[in-house]
């Protein structure tokens, strides 16, 4: 058998483009797949997402690779072995408050590491209708709480001092499981386009702070009714407040609220979810229980849920939510406006003259149906006669939220 040279992971990481040659690892072996990039059945852009690192996290998501002929093909490109000290990942730092955060998928585009905020690459966002859990965008304000599922309790406060304390198994057993396919979008999605008009505050999200999953859990309505919360309060100023287990340095938890009317509505399908795409909720997305409010700004879908309480008006609910902060005395953002964006081709791409396939997503926001998506001179979604604005200028705001103008992607046409 031939003797292969040894390389460190850092050396492999220097090979990320066809110019530097494209290297990847699989197990403890190193491959130079530069000459396969253009031949890849899944497209050259996708293989390049793994360039300079391990294939396993990507192949785990795209099962077509689990066939013998794929490994055989890879064998032809072997150029080395990983050096022994690099075969295992480095140990974690224990002083760091974020040291207990979970491992993440290398394809995620990180906007902030601590706290962790990241979005899927556009090409993978539209590879499937349901976003794989590992690629679902993540918006954390604080370290991820470590929750022991056996001792977890959810506190549900009803009127007149009544309260319910539910274990995870009680939540699963006492209430029927309900499933909802819902898209979550951060109010700051596409903020970076607003910053190009004039600088704004907040994380520089590209078009990926939006993802879709099939959520499973108890209906919030059922749990509230069991705690004695009912429709008797009318629809005045009543809200339901949610608190997370993630607290800041002063001990204040992340929190948000929705109107009681929506919380009790069977049609609104608000969930206390413990499953995401048929699996246990991942730690980054709120393990063991999170709220999912379909059609409403992501900030209301509180993760690592510790309490639900009915309050007589919104002022009593905690609010440390900086990416959808209230505009003065105006009511907080709830339903989101119509949104769409192009995921392929990418800005700056060279494309052949002639017909071109464009991929993207379109979403109605408030849970209404999509009527049409217009292409040609513009890319815009139209939902129940609610259309996207053509430019960012008139909707620009200091917080950089609700950025939903027509998405423009400049490309170079080659011949
Ligand atoms: C399909 C090889 C990396 C995504 C395939 C197929 C092969 C292949 C042989 C066709 C399988 C079949 O249908 O029999 C490779 C090799 C890679 C690599 C050798 C690395 C050296 C990646 C990466 C991604 C990816 C990093 C994702 C980020 C896909 C997808 C398909 C595919 C989505 C299915 C295409 C379709 O049918 O739509 N790949 N792949 N591949 N690959 Fe890869
Ligand atoms: N819940 C808690 N407890 N802590 C948080 O930081 N972020 C919110 C919301 N729920 C947050 C939270 C925001 S602003 C968004 S957009 C969504 O979670 C993102 O959900 P995801 O990370 O599962 O995509
Ligand atoms: Mo958000």
Options 9, 15, 105, 139, the catalytic residue: 139
- Looking at the structure, do residues 72 and 20 belong to the same domain, yes or no? yes
Residue to mutate (ligand 1; options 22, 40, 66; most atoms within 8 A of CB): 40
Catalytic, 178? Answer no
In a domain, 131, yes or no: no
User: pLDDT tier at 392 (50, 70, 90 boundaries)?
Assistant: very high
Residues with Cβ within 8 Å of 75's Cβ and at least 6 positions away in sequence, in order, are: none
Note down the domain range covering 71.
Answer: 6-86
CA–centroid distance, residue 15 to ligand 1 (Å): 19
Is the separation of the CB atoms in 207 and 345 below 8 Å? no
Interatomic CA distance for residues 325 and 334, integer angstroms: 11
Find how far residue 396's CA is from the centre of its chain: 24
In a domain, 130, yes or no: no
Q: Which ligand is nearest to the CA of 276?
A: 2
Interatomic CA distance for residues 364 and 371, integer angstroms: 9
Place of tokens 């793994």: 50
- Looking at the structure, do residues 282 and 237 belong to the same domain, yes or no? yes
How far, in Å, are 105, 212, 404 from residue 342 at the CA level? 23, 16, 12
101: Cβ below 6 Å to ligand 2?
no
Interatomic CA distance for residues 255 and 128, integer angstroms: 31
Place of tokens 């492999």: 12
Residue of minimum CA distance from atom 12 in ligand 1? 64
- Looking at the structure, do residues 302 and 344 belong to the same domain, yes or no? no
Interatomic CA distance for residues 290 and 303, integer angstroms: 4
User: pLDDT tier at 376 (50, 70, 90 boundaries)?
Assistant: very low
- Looking at the structure, do residues 64 and 182 belong to the same domain, yes or no? no
pLDDT 10s digits, 75-117: 999 999 999 888 765 555 557 889 999 999 999 999 999 999 9
Give the CATH number for residue 225: 3.90.420.10
- pLDDT tops 80 at residue 407: yes
The residue count of the chain comes to: 415
- Looking at the structure, do residues 80 and 190 belong to the same domain, yes or no? no
Residues with Cβ within 8 Å of 173's Cβ and at least 6 positions away in sequence, in order, are: none
- Looking at the structure, do residues 353 and 306 belong to the same domain, yes or no? no
pLDDT at residue 60 in the model = 84
- Looking at the structure, do residues 167 and 307 belong to the same domain, yes or no? yes
Which tokens belong to 308?
Answer: 């639900």
pLDDT at residue 158 in the model = 83
pLDDT 10s digits, 185-233: 999 999 999 999 998 888 999 999 999 999 999 999 999 999 988 766 5
Catalytic, 77? Answer no
How far, in Å, are 22, 241, 306 from residue 311 at the CA level? 57, 7, 16
- Looking at the structure, do residues 63 and 198 belong to the same domain, yes or no? no
- pLDDT tops 90 at residue 251: no
306: Cβ below 6 Å to ligand 2?
no
User: pLDDT tier at 155 (50, 70, 90 boundaries)?
Assistant: very high
Coil/strand/helix, residue 154: strand
- Beta strands 138-139 and 153-157, pairing class: unpaired
Give the CATH number for residue 385: 2.60.40.650
- Looking at the structure, do residues 68 and 183 belong to the same domain, yes or no? no
Which tokens belong to 389?
Answer: 């604005």
- pLDDT tops 60 at residue 74: yes
Domain boundary among 46, 68, 86: 86
**What is the residue-wise DSSP string for 60-73?**
TT-GGG-SHHHHHH
pLDDT at residue 334 in the model = 82
401: Cβ below 6 Å to ligand 2?
no
253: Cβ below 6 Å to ligand 2?
no
Which tokens belong to 230?
Answer: 């009912």
Interatomic CA distance for residues 288 and 265, integer angstroms: 24
Catalytic, 378? Answer no
Interatomic CA distance for residues 415 and 412, integer angstroms: 10
- Looking at the structure, do residues 183 and 303 belong to the same domain, yes or no? yes
Please, what is the average pLDDT of the chain?
89
pLDDT at residue 319 in the model = 55
- Beta strands 412-414 and 350-352, pairing class: parallel
pLDDT at residue 388 in the model = 87
User: pLDDT tier at 153 (50, 70, 90 boundaries)?
Assistant: very high
How far, in Å, are 163, 241, 306, 311 from residue 157 at the CA level? 4, 10, 11, 9
Catalytic, 186? Answer yes
Catalytic, 241? Answer no
pLDDT at residue 320 in the model = 46
In a domain, 22, yes or no: yes
pLDDT 10s digits, 6-19: 999 999 999 999 99
Rounded to the nearest 10°, the torsion over CA 78, 84, 85, 91 is 80
Residues with Cβ within 8 Å of 84's Cβ and at least 6 positions away in sequence, in order, are: 6
Domain boundary among 86, 111, 135: 86
Residue to mutate (ligand 2; options 301, 304, 401, 402; most atoms within 8 A of CB): 301
Residues with CB under 6 A from ligand 1: 24, 33, 36, 40-42, 46-47, 49-50, 55, 58, 62, 64-65, 67, 70, 73-74, 127
- Looking at the structure, do residues 181 and 285 belong to the same domain, yes or no? yes
pLDDT 10s digits, 287-342: 999 999 999 999 999 999 999 999 876 556 655 455 655 544 556 778 888 899 99
186: Cβ below 6 Å to ligand 2?
yes
- pLDDT tops 50 at residue 22: yes
Domain boundary among 62, 86, 110: 86
Of 158, 172, 410, 154, which Cα lies nearest the Cα of 302? 154
Domain count, the chain: 3
């Amino acid at each position: 058998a031939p003797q292969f040279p040894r390389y460190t992971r850092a050396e492999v990481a220097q090979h990320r483009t066809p110019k530097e040659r494209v290297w990847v690892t699989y197990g403890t072996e190193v491959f130079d797949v530069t000459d396969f990039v253009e031949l890849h059945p899944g497209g050259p852009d996708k293989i390049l997402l793994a360039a300079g690192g391990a294939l396993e996290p990507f192949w785990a998501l795209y099962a077509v690779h689990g066939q013998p002929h794929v490994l055989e093909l890879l064998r032809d490109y072997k150029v080395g072995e990983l050096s022994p000290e690099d075969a295992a990942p480095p140990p974690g730092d224990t002083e760091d408050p974020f040291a207990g955060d979970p491992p993440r998928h290398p394809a995620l585009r990180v906007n902030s590491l601590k706290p962790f905020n990241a979005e899927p690459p556009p090409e993978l966002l539209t590879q499937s209708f349901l976003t794989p859990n590992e690629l679902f965008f993540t918006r954390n304000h604080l370290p991820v709480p470590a929750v022991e599922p056996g001792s977890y309790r959810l506190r549900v406060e009803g009127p007149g001092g009544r309260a319910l304390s539910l274990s995870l198994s009680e939540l699963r057993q006492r209430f029927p499981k309900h499933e909802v396919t819902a898209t979550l979008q951060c109010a700051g999605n596409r903020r970076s386009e607003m910053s190009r008009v004039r600088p704004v505050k907040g994380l520089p999200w590209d078009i990926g702070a939006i993802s879709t999953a099939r959520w499973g859990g108890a209906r919030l309505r059922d749990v509230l009714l069991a705690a004695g919360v009912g429709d008797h309060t009318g629809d005045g100023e009543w809200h339901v407040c949610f608190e997370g287990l993630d607290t800041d340095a002063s001990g204040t938890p992340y929190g948000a609220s929705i109107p009681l009317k929506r919380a009790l509505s069977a049609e609104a399908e608000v969930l206390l979810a413990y499953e995401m795409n048929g699996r246990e909720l991942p730690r980054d997305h709120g393990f063991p229980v999170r709220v999912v409010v379909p059609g409403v700004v992501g900030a209301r879908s509180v993760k690592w849920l510790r309490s639900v309480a009915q309050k007589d008006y919104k002022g009593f609910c905690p609010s440390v939510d900086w990416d959808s902060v209230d505009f003065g005395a105006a009511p907080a953002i709830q339903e989101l406006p119509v949104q769409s964006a192009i995921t392929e081709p990418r800005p700056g791409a060279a494309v052949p003259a002639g017909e071109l396939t464009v991929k993207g997503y379109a979403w109605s926001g408030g849970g209404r149906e999509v009527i049409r998506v217009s292409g040609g001179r513009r890319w815009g979604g139209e939902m129940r006669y609610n259309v996207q604005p053509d430019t960012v200028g008139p909707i620009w705001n200091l917080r950089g939220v609700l950025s939903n103008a027509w998405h423009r992607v400049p490309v170079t046409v080659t011949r």
